[in-house]
Amino acid sequence: MRKIMVLAALVVIGIVLLYAVGKMPPMNSRNTPDKTHVVPRYLNEGESEGGAKNIITGVILNYRGYDTMGEVTVIFSALCATIALLDREKRKVSRSGVDASGVRASVIVRTVVRFLVPIVVFFAAYMILHGEATPGGGFQGGAIIGASVIIFTLVFGLPESTRRMPLKARVPFESIAMLGFLAMGFIGIAFGVNFLTYVLPGLHGSLVDTIRSQMLMVIEIGIGIGGGLVFTSIVLAMVREDEYELQPDIPQP
Amino acid sequence: MNFSRIFHNLNYAVSALLFLMGLYTVTVKPNLIKKLIGLNIMETSVFLLIVSLGMIPDGQAPIVTNGVRPSMMVNPIPQALILTGIVVAVSTTAVALSLCIRIHEKYDTLDAFKIHGRGGL
Amino acid sequence: MNWVLNLLLLIFLVCTAAAAILIKDLLAAAIVFSAYSLLMAILWTQLRAPDLAITEAAVGAGVTTVLLIVTIYRTVRKEE
């Protein structure tokens, strides 16, 4: 009964939405109203005003810097919420049930992963640092670092992974994204202009361009490392299962 | 109902269809993880709609290189906004899955009606 | 010929979304959801959005799928 009522309501909403789609201007055409007023300014002056050859990086870090600060806040709050829910107490031994069978992964998988994880981290560093001239950027590199830590944890087990990235080493760097953003923002206030203004308006020259590029790169590195550590900490917190009595360290075969 | 226009704007129509499928999943299916999958489908359908607005014929990616004139680039504004959107989507999914783990520890089920019967939600 | 690839991607997108909703085994639904994420990443490439394609591939197929599988491991596997 519920299903039929919901389906009827959805059919009505669907007809209304399809009627609206029929009234929209045709897709894939050049002179719709949303592309003629504001967008040519962003495309023509995006490189000189935004400060990066990748116009999207210029938009998210310069034209829309507040939105990116909000996004970093959301990531950081998600990390706080996940750890508050799951990582309740400190245990001497962190066990996870995902790899509790006691059988190690095969030699081929272990060798390939051990060979591949440094290359993936290197690629993530390339993507973070080169985000201003090619597709990429801060957050993409952070997600790739998170994915590489995930694959390492799944193959080698949680104790190995926690041994290489202990909590004491992760905590000082997890808020580096937020603090980097705020630091770069307050530099603008220190010079008397608005928050998140990178160079004083009215200055030109190649030294000013270099300074702005470097400030953007500091923010991107911050977002990359911060985002990567957030994903790492979320996955390591979810994989871990709490034991209710302390277990001795079981030697792996 | 202009059917030829709807067939030309196929991206928008598929986005509306995916939104409705996600909404059906969130309201009808009782399992919490299924509801989360439906929520993710709804979110990605909205991203598809907004980014498809910026496409032009023979468009190029909005990156300044040799041989790409600014008048040939697609609209960069929706892409920048949706980048933030994807990040927010994965963050909310992570928090929601942590909540599912805790709910299962307390009520030993993930069925919304049974949790309501045992005194939760 | 560009519209052929677009049409095929959209048809497969709807099919994988329907499969992810209707399958009762949650682990299979998570894997099909990962395929949905991959098709969405290819669609972003088709719409000339390389940043979005990289982000969706790394986040959707990498992080969201693994989080879903870990949650399914620690809770139920079959619906109801």
Each domain of chain A, given as residue ranges in start order, spans 66-241
HEC sequence for chain A: CHHHHHHHHHHHHHHHHHHHHHHCCCCCCCCCHHHHCCHHHHHHCHHHHHCCCEHHHHHHHHHCHHHHHHHHHHHHHHHHHHHHHHCCCCCCCCEECCCCCCCCCCHHHHHHHHHHHHHHHHHHHHHHHCCCCCCCCHHHHHHHHHHHHHHHHHHHCHHHHHHHCCHHHHHHHHCHHHHHHHHHHHHHHHCCCCCCCCCCCCCCCHHHHHHHHHHHHHHHHHHHHHHHHHHHHHHHHHHEECCCCCCCCCCCC
Q: Which residues is B36 bridged to in the sheet?
A: none
Alpha-carbon distance of A240 to A103, in angstroms, equals 18
Neighboring chain B residues of C15 at a CB cutoff of 8 Å: none
Neighboring chain B residues of A55 at a CB cutoff of 8 Å: 62-64, 73, 76
Terminus-to-terminus CA distance in chain B, angstroms?
42
**CB-side neighbour CA atoms (13 Å) of C26:** 27
Alpha-carbon distance of B43 to B88, in angstroms, equals 10
Could you read off the pLDDT tens digit of each residue along chain A, which spans 253 residues? Answer: 888 999 999 999 999 999 999 998 888 888 888 788 888 888 888 888 888 888 999 889 888 888 999 999 999 999 999 988 886 655 555 556 655 556 778 899 999 999 999 999 999 999 999 888 889 888 999 999 999 998 898 888 888 888 888 888 888 888 888 888 888 888 888 877 778 887 777 777 778 888 888 888 888 999 999 999 999 999 988 887 765 444 455 555 5
Whether C48 contacts chain B with CB within 8 A = yes
> CA angle at residue B79 from A63 to A27, to 5 degrees?
125
Q: What is the mean pLDDT of chain B?
A: 91
**How many domains does the structure of chain C reveal?**
1
CB A96 within 8 A of CB A157: yes
Tokens of residue A98, six digits = 């995902």
What is the maximal distance between C-alpha atoms in chain A?
A: 70
- Mean pLDDT (10-residue bins), chain B, 121 residues: 86 94 94 95 95 88 86 90 94 94 88 87 65
Break chain B into its structural domains and give their ranges: 3-55+69-117
Q: Which whole number is the average pLDDT over C6-10?
A: 93
Residue C28's domain comprises: 2-74
Q: Which residues is A54 bridged to in the sheet?
A: B63
| Amino acid in position A103 | V
CB B2 within 8 A of CB C50: no
Q: Do A143 and C71 touch (CB under 8 A)?
A: no
- Please check whether residue C12 lies inside any domain of the structure: yes
DSSP category for residue B108: S
| Cβ neighbourhood burial of A57 (10 Å; 0-12, 13-18, 19+) | buried
CB B35 within 8 A of CB B113: no
Query: Regarding the domain delimited by B3-55+69-117, which CATH topology (the fold level of the hierarchy) does it fall under?
Result: Helix Hairpins (1.10.287)
Tokens of residue C12, six digits = 């497969």
Nearest to A75 by CA among A235, A237, A230, A236: A230
- Of C33 and A154, which is predicted with more confidence? C33
Q: Which of A143, A146, A238 sits opposite C70 (nearest CB)?
A: A238
Chain B 23-62, residues with CB within 8 Å of chain A CB atoms: 23-24, 27-28, 52-57, 61-62
Residues 6+ apart with CB under 8 A from B70: A40, A43, A44, A46, B64
What is the maximal distance between C-alpha atoms in chain B?
A: 65
CB A227 within 8 A of CB A139: yes
- pLDDT over 90, % of chain C: 80
Neighboring chain B residues of A35 at a CB cutoff of 8 Å: 54, 56, 75
Residues 6+ apart with CB under 8 A from B33: B97, B100, B110, C26, C68, C71, C72, C75
Q: How many CB pairs under 8 A join A and C?
A: 48
Residues 6+ apart with CB under 8 A from A103: none
Chain B 59-88, residues with CB within 8 Å of chain C CB atoms: 59-63, 74, 79, 82-83, 86-87
Alpha-carbon distance of A50 to A60, in angstroms, equals 9
Q: Which whole number is the average pLDDT over C38-62?
A: 92
| Amino acid in position C14 | V
Buried b (16+ CB within 10 A) or exposed e, A150-173: bbbbbbbbbbebbeebeeeeeeee
- Please check whether residue C80 lies inside any domain of the structure: no
Task: Report pTM.
Answer: 0.90
* Alpha helices, DSSP H, located in B29-111: 32-52, 77-107
Would you state the pLDDT for residue A246? 41
- Please check whether residue C34 lies inside any domain of the structure: yes
Neighboring chain B residues of C47 at a CB cutoff of 8 Å: 51-52, 54-55, 74
Would you state the pLDDT for residue B19? 96
B62: helix, strand or coil? coil
Q: What is the mean pLDDT of chain A?
A: 84
